[in-house]
A and B are shown apart, each in its own frame.
Chain A
Amino acid sequence: MTWQGWALIVVFVGILLALTKPMGLWLHALYEGRRTPLHVVLGPVERGFYKLAGIDPTVEQSWRRYAVHMLLFNVALLLFTYAILRLQAFLPLNASGMPGIAPDGAFNIATSFTTNTNWQWYSGEVALSNLSQMLGLTIHNFLSAATGIALAFALFRGFARREAGSIGNFWADCTRITLYLLLPICVIYSVYLIAAGVPQTLTQQVAATTMEGARQTISMGPIASQEAIKMLGTNGGGFLNANSAHPFENPDALTNLIQMLSIFAIGFGLTWCFGKTVGNTKQGWAILSAMLVLFLAGVTVTYWQEAAGNPILHQLGVAGGNMEGKEVRFGVAASSLFAVVTTAASCGAVNAMHDSFTALGGMIPLFNIQLGEVVVGGVGAGIYGFLLFAILAVFVAGLMVGRTPEYVGKKIEGREVKLAVLAIAILPLVILGFTAIASVLPAGLAGPLNKGPHGFSEILYAFTSAVGNNGSAFAGITSGTQFYNGMLGVAMWLGRFFVIVPMLAIAGSLAAKKYTPETAGSFPTTGPLWVGLLVGTILILGGLTFLPSLALGPIADHLAMIGGTLS
């Protein structure tokens, strides 16, 4: 580990903390549907959309209607992308003549992008035309992110409102977030990325004759516009196979820093926004503190392990940190930080190959996703996932002191706790269940590239990533088969919507409750005691379930690595 590495980590966190309140204020304006300076330009677009779609943004929806409208919109978007991928061969902007994608593959991609997962069984430069990338995928990068933030707003309203029957209007939330938050930032962000070297062209390939006379075909395309929303919306699906490790997606150390910042920026802002909506910004800072404790612990372990390097390679006379699967311009520190950021959030973009990390260095990304990506988390999904844990934490605290638990002025009762457990239980249930199935069936065992415990880790990581809607991979696994496309597609769908529906039911149930003022007997939900309780709840209720699977994968792998047992 070097001082430069730690300086990067400190500067990274420092910039984000400085951005938290401004981002939170902006989000809060959108939460309330207030007018922003951008309405001058984009207001007519917003009103035009409502008019054509027959939407009255002032009409409030019950949680049920909010959920149904959100689901049907997502189904429509999924079918739209499925059609584009199937028909790719007949559509324009396909200079290299890419064929249509088979049904199982198209189902997997469409589900993956709809659920904000961006798991990619294919290589973008090999399989997709420029039109499929732009029209089929970029729209999901925006709208799955907007959906996530809208859902977080719905839950915030549940906490903030008193004896109310509604939790907002899905269409208004989704449209405003897209137009006034995501789109404007992405326009500026993309221009910066182009200036830094990220291609933005309709040319698909350029043929070169190298200095030594060999032929090299260089893939490119409208990458910058997709890159910006890929990071800001915590989507993570690369235009090119190597994702943010590819010099065309992430050309230098500064683009790398900005990419990492943009993964977390909205997530940090949402914690502040939550505090504001419930009338006490300290509530938001408490949540952010608990997230930062878990985040910094993860960064420390991964950075330490990657800097220590691989003893098997040291024996061969190759000194220093682990550089297999890493780029020189990022080195060990920026690669380790990126890996933890991308999995703490549900981004899943990578600037290094997690599969080639040291065993424990690669276990942290895996564990981050297993915790439910509540350490900052995906845009919207992170904070609503975290609030589910907060509900369980006050419940646990309530059991200890023998009082009905309260959180930010709302009594937490049986219904909320049951629904929260339901939402949280889907993660271990599907991850471990599906991993077990894939670990015994020949079609599943055909997947891994690596042998031994690391091969098991590849399967475990795939289902963890799918259910957690992350999208990163231990990418050695060959997942473009009917078996994996189907299983992972279903896993992604369950991981997204089987968390969302109970969460919205909680929002509806909380919104209907009356306000319970804090008394001397209330458990305080702002101080260090609360932060500690949150961290403990997340680690014990969220993490402990996965310990046996980690023992079979990364921990066994670590013992093999330090013992020099090759497989």
Chain B
Amino acid sequence: MFADIKTALRPALVLTILFALLLGIVYPLTLTGIGQLIFPSQANGSLIRDAKGNVIGSSLIAQAFTGDQYFHPRPSAAGKGYEANNSYGSNLGPASQALHDRVQADVAAYQAKAPGQSVPADLVTTSASGLDPHISPEAAFYQVVRVARARGWPEARVRAMVDKAVEYPLLGFLGEPRVNVLLLNRQLDAEGAKSPS
């Protein structure tokens, strides 16, 4: 037993250091170099900038929208909501009173603005990360009337924009149909700037 331990010491210590250098330093830094060189946009977080070059967000990360003229993302449990340095799910169980009460309140708020229509599930459930950039096409179409009214646009115009924004599953089965909320809202503002009504 003592011989077993004694013969282990040098390889254990030396390999810890060598592997730490190779796997902890050389490997991630080499990939950082490759990423920055070949895919700078993705490697730096798919950031979106305005005309002046200021960062307004990331195309992969949800941000809060509260104004009626914008499409709203799913509710978020990341910090106080949409904190992209604090990703979090609600972690509420299926029979949770808190989950029931939250969904009930959110459904009521949506129905106050669009009575009679049933609310799509993803609009009143929090995502796993709290930063889900997408909503379902149903959740987008559900909001068309509100957005069109707030902008004073014909509904058909907004609807056509949502139609164009829907991303479909790869090969028909990989992934779900979805709409990127931030990109759609950017599109709305860009269209609005071109022709206000």
Contact = CB atoms under 8 A, between A and B. Distances in A.
Interface of A: 3-4, 7-8, 11, 45, 49, 52-55, 64-65, 68-69, 72-73, 75-77, 80, 123, 125-126, 134-136, 138-139, 142-143, 171, 174-175, 178, 183, 186-187, 190-191, 194-203, 205-212, 214, 216-220, 222, 224-226, 240-242, 245-248, 251-254, 256-257, 309-310, 312-313, 316-331, 334-335, 350-353, 355-359, 449-452, 454, 457, 474-476, 557, 560-561, 565-567
Nearest to A130: B28
Given A69-B4, A212-B67, A450-B96, A328 B189 contact: no
A210 B44 contact: no
A245 B134 CA distance: 13
A72 B5 contact: yes
Contact of A316 (B20, B107, B186): B107
Contact of A476 (B29, B91, B178): B91
B144 interface: no
A201 B90 contact: no
Contact of A73 (B15, B29, B70, B119): B15
Interface string B58-73: 1011011111001000
Contacts of B127: 245, 325-328
B158 interface: no
Interface in B95-140: 95-97, 99-100, 103-104, 107, 118-119, 121-122, 124-136
12 contacts: A64-B4, A76-B13, A126-B85, A138-B28, A208-B58, A208-B63, A220-B44, A222-B29, A245-B129, A246-B87, A316-B103, A355-B93
Nearest to A204: B85
A310 B14 CA distance: 54
Nearest to B179: A328
A206 B128 contact: no
B121 A321 contact: yes
B170 interface: yes
A567 B101 CA distance: 11
B31 A561 contact: no
B104 to A, nearest CB: 5
A151 to B, nearest CB: 16
A206 B45 contact: yes
Contact of B31 (A135, A194, A254, A353): A194
B196 interface: no
B165 interface: no
A449 B91 contact: yes
A319 B55 contact: no
Interface in B1-37: 1, 4-5, 7-16, 18-20, 22-25, 27-32, 34-36
Nearest to A335: B128
B66 to A, nearest CB: 7
A110 to B, nearest CB: 13
A126 B84 CA distance: 11
Contacts of A123: 86-88
Nearest to B97: A566
Given A197-B46, A200-B35, A454 B93 contact: yes
Contact of A317 (B43, B57, B118, B175): B118
Contacts, number: 379
B4 A247 contact: no
B142 interface: no
B176 A139 contact: no
A330 B58 CA distance: 19
A181 to B, nearest CB: 13
B12 to A, nearest CB: 4
B31 A4 contact: no
Contact of A171 (B15, B23, B67, B124): B15
Contacts of A309: 121
A226 B7 contact: no
Contacts of A190: 31, 35
A358 B86 contact: no
B57 A208 contact: yes
A210 B81 CA distance: 13
A53 B18 contact: yes
Nearest to A314: B121
B89 interface: yes
B121 A203 contact: no
A201 B89 contact: no
Nearest to B64: A214
A23 B16 CA distance: 27
Given A212-B64, A313-B121, A355-B92, A135 B20 contact: yes
A358 B94 contact: yes
Given A73-B16, A211-B63, A323-B125, A240 B87 contact: yes
A134 B185 contact: no
A139 B21 CA distance: 9
Contacts of B88: 123, 241-242
Given A194-B39, A312-B94, A329-B176, A73 B8 contact: yes
B47 to A, nearest CB: 7
B91 A253 contact: no
